[in-house]
Amino acid sequence: MNATDRTPADLLRSALSADPARPLVTFYDDATGERVELSVATFANWVAKTANLLQGELAAEPGDRLALLLPAHWQTAVWLLACSSAGVLADVGGDPAAADLVVSGPDTLEEARKCSGERVALALRPLGGRFPQPPAGFADYAVEVPSQGDRFAPYAPVDPDAPALAVGGLELTGAELVERARTDALQHGLGAGSRMLSGLPYDTWDGLSAGLFAPLAAGGSVVLCRHLDRLSGGGLEKRRESERVTVTAP
């Protein structure tokens, strides 16, 4: 990664320049058997489309607070980088009533309705599938995002020193987030080409770092596992071997 990178979006751009074809996020849901692998280029395309949805259709502006009510999931990772790209603060597990807009999974829709601004819902179905019946009062992400542009340009440059992420009582600017991610990458022994497996939830900095930001900052990739406790026997060791995992989050 470049020493000049000061936001998570910068880190993604550097990864795209370095090797767009390499895997970046490999996601498992051991409750459904789902496996999704996204290259840097594919992940960046999802981020661009989502950032265009955020800035265009949802009219989000730099400094707006987005309550992100989603579990550890590849689409959550996309939203985190889309928020960074548009200068929107991603408030993970935040209060929808205090947010300018909300993004919710299927299990938090009632809570998300407390938001008076724009509301987006994700079904979190395999292959990014849509809801069979769109929830009332929400835009269905899977319906809205495919038509968005494949390239994103913010209306105004994103300030690295503006708040970018809130999680578990911690609030970080983009620059602070990048520095923490770099520090964590060093502590985990991550480097270019490293593969980190994480089954940690996304409701703490440690989970977000291990499950996205530290591997991204190091030029590595993440094997993000949801419902990892459903694996039995030697399933975890087999996964480490098959995915060429080099580091496992504690």
Domains of the chain: 8-248 (3.40.50.12780)
Residue with tokens 């020193």: 161
Count of alpha carbons within 13 angstroms of residue 19, beta-carbon side: 12
pLDDT digits (tens, 9 = 90+) for 75-93: 999 999 999 999 999 999 9
Nearest to 64, CA basis, from 151, 155, 163, 149: 163
Nearest to 217, CA basis, from 247, 191, 199: 191
Query: For each of the chain's 250 residues, which pLDDT tens digit applies?
Result: 677 899 999 999 999 999 999 999 999 999 999 999 999 999 999 999 999 999 999 999 999 999 999 999 999 999 999 999 999 999 999 999 999 999 999 999 999 999 999 999 999 999 889 999 989 999 999 999 999 999 999 999 999 999 999 999 999 999 999 999 999 999 999 999 999 999 999 999 999 999 999 999 999 999 999 999 999 889 999 999 999 999 999 8
Q: How far apart are the first and last CA of the chain?
A: 24
pLDDT at 1: 61
For residues 115-133, one letter each, b for 16 or more C-beta atoms within 10 angstroms of the residue's C-beta and e for the rest, the string is bebbbbbbbbeeebebbee
**Rounded to an integer, what distance in angstroms lies between the CA atom of residue 205 and that of residue 223?**
17
**Rounded to an integer, what distance in angstroms lies between the CA atom of residue 53 and that of residue 145?**
7
Residues composing the chain: 250
From the number of C-beta atoms within 10 Å of its C-beta (0-12, 13-18, 19+), residue 101 rates as buried
What Rg, from alpha-carbon coordinates, does the chain have? 17
**Rounded to an integer, what distance in angstroms lies between the CA atom of residue 199 and that of residue 72?**
8
Backbone angles phi, psi at 115, to 5 degrees: -75, 130
pLDDT at 8: 98
195-198: strand order across its sheet = 34-39, 23-29, 221-226, 195-198, 247-248
Nearest to 220, CA basis, from 193, 187, 181: 193
What is the bridge-based pairing of β-strands 23-29 and 221-226?
A: parallel
pLDDT digits (tens, 9 = 90+) for 104-154: 999 999 999 999 999 999 999 998 899 999 899 999 999 999 999 999 999
